[in-house]
């Protein structure tokens, strides 16, 4: 599910970048900041999911 959401977000960002490349430079700073914030949030979310899965797997290992 997370990978599908990431692929969808990536397709949206790629389309937006192509649109901006054809348009010009006005307003691009704000959009770049917003896109950077989106990618940072996505990276944090993916990291949290990975940490949760690894922690759950580590806690399920029987050491006895």
Task: List the chain pLDDT tens, one digit each, 64 residues.
Answer: 667 777 787 888 888 878 777 766 666 677 788 889 989 999 999 999 999 999 999 999 988 7
C-alpha to C-alpha distance for 48 and 38, rounded to whole angstroms: 15
Three-state secondary structure of the chain? CHHHHHHHHHHHHHHHHHHHHHHCCCCHHHHHHHHHHHHHHHHHHHHHHHHHHHHHHHHHCCCC
Query: According to the model, what pLDDT value does residue 43 have?
Result: 92
pTM of the model as a whole: 0.54
């Amino acid at each position: 599910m997370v990978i599908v959401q990431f692929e969808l977000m990536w397709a949206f960002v790629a389309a937006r970048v192509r649109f901006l490349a054809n348009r010009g430079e006005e307003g691009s700073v704000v959009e770049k900041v917003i896109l950077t914030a989106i990618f940072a949030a996505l990276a944090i979310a993916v990291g949290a999911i990975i940490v949760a899965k690894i922690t759950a797997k580590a806690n399920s290992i029987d050491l006895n």
